[in-house]
Structure 1
């Protein structure tokens, strides 16, 4: 049964859609000055002394905390700022310092006595470390006790999605929209629509979020999120426009620079894409960016091993600061290392966070070890979640091809390339090659268009066959 649509935010989508997209198209194309940084090795820093999140601001907060050891609110503010600084710069050394500050705050004043800000910051820290189950538990406690702590809502929307609970994510987004509204609520609701596969509706809400956003960081963030949605739809020009508009406001956003690099690679501007990835890594050295750069290098030069080693080193370093990197490491080992190790890592990650991303990665790792029957179960789960992700569809198609389910394989490989013809510089060409090898469906249509292999029919003893009777059609999957 199809899930009922939520009432609040989707009412914004409809007659306003074309007008909103037109307004933001003008904003991206001409209303915001665009600064291209793809060829720069390192952009000039934008932080100024005393600005929020700057080194000077953090030093001032630390001095204030030392001068007020019994002020729980000051220590909670310090812990939240340290987490934000570490997240922005992908510098995980900030996380143990943040944890120490927050634990001190909760010692001075417990959550039961109303220190909800420290508990929210603990949830934010757990989320930054990739411990989404712990983030969910802490945020749910705060939401029950202090429903007006709005910082819990984005945390819960994202963690519910990563835990595979799309209904809870949508419900929380609706509550945020109804009670709070604004650009952040629109942006997070757009993400839940994207996760359901409502791509056009998500795009309209994302553009609403851009228009509703104030200046500075909020505008830059909503432009980045709109760029990600455009990228996933394969709208390369639109995605590049959003990313460039975001970078014209805040040049130091590593996630935005990495998004720009993906678009450049898809456009065939590979040398510029490689430089832009290096810029992103200089700003925020995340292992997933090293993995993407390695695959770009492998696609263009035949060898990305140096970047894969960098990604492994980054995961190992982050692990020492309490950050879980099993998902990115599992993906890396599946394709560029030890697939058995990948299965072990991803099974453990799936036990903690059974969302679509981990299901897809685990299914692909099982495929790489040759266990295609088990792989298909996870690949189906990943695609079933709703989001039309080209990589997930490609993985499912390849697994079905390995199992001899050629009709289903052809259908999913075609859909992957239709959703995003250049979803990866390494894997999109391989999807086309696999599709070419499958060839055209046989006359009369492909067998097994339902996406599974029907069980073999029982045969009558020789000489007792029922003549002139066509085999029953396979039952359609629910």
Structure 2
């Protein structure tokens, strides 16, 4: 894409902000852009280009380990190996690679405290661990060393998004796309538009990300899957399926594409097919959001014992993630609120998460946890924070509708529930049917 194509994209975001001043099975739309950092041009390009498939990641690890054996003071090799470990985490879901990468990057800084590659990679690592204030610090430190590097602005903008600094994040993304219009910057523009309620614009930008392509098939097809998710969130199931299938055709057995197809099958109540897809996913990449999704599908299919097994695995995984420095408070609070597990602790964790990470998605999590614990007035106050950007997300509107219903606000409840179902009639395995039933009852005056 040439530079001239970028101006309208950014203008659309910047026009929205002054005016305005999670919803897939087993996951939230906030997770989308936090996996963009495999394309960091601050790394050793020749070496990093080798990380294109699962097998080549292992080759990259072996090559950098051999390089360090020859020269234990090779700072770039430490960074390259850390980047390979981050890719390995992406492929396996094993968070211990975060700890390994952290040690390697700090070793690189011991050799050179101003090592831009290591500092930049530490920003990406902090994002992956949901340590957003630290990510912002690393990103700003990297920018001070190399202000021309586009990736810095992606890390900074990502952190600002999760810290609720939306105007600042948009400015960071604008700088990023102006400096380097590519898959990573287009995808971030898509996410910013999505949060501000411009779903059509989000699709346009994500399609440009797909067309721009990444340095390897995984990057490109990850973006294609995100495009499918955007279609799904608008109830455009055939379009979503087309994108998921295209990703799978281009990158066979790709877990994110399989999960997308599993989500569609579950939305169509084809639970056997959904279980088949998600079982393949979890066997390959047992990320918590996929394990939760499989549990929810089992529950919907009338298999509570199998669902309980998946939910128990989530608890085990949460401990493993915490041991490797990953902040899961918001995610676990939402899981427990959705599944009525240890609600007092869920509320405590949601409050703690919002104190550290005052984004609209965590505001939604806190609002829903307050709702589940009977704190309806405070839940509505927090829900107003969650919706302050004009986000058009079916699950968030369902939450708002349920809170209004419990407060006896019939008309707002009808409005929010209607908006949720108009956006995506099958927005949630847990809640879509209930939303339809309650909306019908409210309209009949029951």
Normalised to the residue count of structure 1, the TM-score between the two structures is: 0.79
Equivalent in the alignment of 1:419 = 423
Return the alpha-carbon distance in structure 1 between the equivalents of residues 258 and 159 of structure 2.
24
Is the partner of 1:154 in helix, strand or coil? helix
Matches within 5 A, 1:158-307: 158-213=158-213, 216-301=217-302, 303=304, 304-307=307-310
Asked if 2 retains the 8 angstrom alpha-carbon contact of 1:88 and 1:253, the reply is: no
| 1:137-189 deviations in Å (ceiling 9; x for gaps) | 11122123312333223323322222222212221221122111133322221
Larger Rg belongs to: 1
**Superposed CA offset, 1:211-257 (max 9, x none):** 22267334313312211211222211111111111122223533332
**Residue in structure 1 matching 2:334, options 312, 331, 336:** 331
Select the residue among 76, 98, 106 that pairs with 2:109. Answer: 106
Whether the aligned pair in 1 keeps the contact of 2:151 and 2:176 (CA below 8 Å) is no
In terms of fraction of residues, the more helix-rich structure is 2
Question: Could you tell me which of 346, 362, 369 is aligned with 1:365?
Answer: 369
Q: State whether residues 183 and 210 of structure 1, in contact with CA within 8 Å, keep that contact through their aligned partners in structure 2.
A: yes
Structural RMSD (CA) = 2.1
Residue of structure 1 equivalent to 2:66:
63
Give the corresponding residue for 1:433.
Answer: 437
Residues 144 and 70 of structure 1, relative CA distance in 2, 3 Å threshold: same
In the TM superposition, what whole-angstrom CA distance separates every residue of 1:5-57 from its partner, at most 9, and x where no partner exists?
x95525699xxxxxxxxxxxxxxxxxxxxxxxxxxxxxxxx9475x2x2x232
Among 323, 328, 345, the alignment partner of 1:341 is: 345
1:441 offset after TM fit, Å?
6.3
In structure 1, what is the Cα distance between the partners aligned to 2:324 and 2:423? 38
**Residue of structure 2 in register with 1:156 after alignment:** 156
Q: Which residue of 2 aligns with 1:402?
A: 406
Q: Deviations over 1:56-111 (max 9, x none)?
A: 32122112123222221221111122122213321112111111111110000002
Stretch moving more, 282-291 or 401-410 = 282-291
Q: CA separation in 2, counterparts of 1:76 and 1:409?
A: 52
How many residue pairs get aligned? The number is: 399
Q: Which moved more, 1:340-349 or 1:229-238?
A: 229-238
Runs of 5+ unmatched residues, structure 2:
1-5, 14-51
1:38 maps to which residue?
Answer: none
Match of 1:386 in 2: 390
1:351 corresponds to 2:352: no
Q: State how far apart, in whole Å, the 2-side matches of 1:237 and 1:157 are.
A: 32
Distance in 2 (CA, whole Å) between partners of 1:242 and 1:248 is: 10
1:159 is paired with a residue of what secondary structure? helix
CA deviations 1:378-426 (Å, max 9, x no partner) are 1121122332111111011001100101111110011000111101122
Q: Distance in 1 between matches of 2:54 and 2:219?
A: 18
Structure with more relative contact order (C-alpha pairs < 8 Å, separation 6 or more): 2
Do residues 318 (structure 1) and 321 (structure 2) align? yes
Equivalent position to 1:82, from 65, 82, 85: 85
Match of 2:33 in 1: none
Matches of 1:341 and 1:153 in 2, distance apart? 36
3-state DSSP class of the match of 2:427?
coil
Secondary structure at the aligned position of 2:425 is classed as coil
Cα distance in 1, alignment partners of residues 113 and 169 from structure 2: 28
Distance 2:188 2:313 in 1: 32
Mark the CA change 1:381 to 1:441 in structure 2 (over 3 Å): closer, same or farther: farther
1:199, distance to aligned residue in structure 2 (A):
0.8
What is the SS of the residue equivalent to 1:435?
A: helix
**Alpha-carbon distance in structure 1 between the residues aligned to 2:309 and 2:218:** 34
Contact 1:226–1:242 under 8 Å retained in 2: yes
CA distance in 1, matches of 2:242, 2:221: 12
SS class of match (2:387) = helix
Q: Matched residues in 1 for 2:436 and 2:239: separation?
A: 24
Alpha-carbon distance in structure 1 between the residues aligned to 2:9 and 2:144: 23
Alpha-carbon contact 1:164-1:356 (below 8 Å) kept: yes
Is residue 298–residue 426 contact of structure 1 (8 Å, CA) maintained in 2? no
CA distance in 2, matches of 1:340, 1:431: 25
Match of 1:93 among 93, 96, 118: 96
The alpha-carbon distance between structure 1 residues 48 and 253, as it changes in their structure 2 partners (threshold 3 A), is closer
Q: Deviations over 1:437-471 (max 9, x none)?
A: 313469xxxxxxxxxxxxxxxxxxxxxxxxxxxxx
CA contact (8 A) 2:222 2:256 kept: no
SS in 2 for 1:384: coil
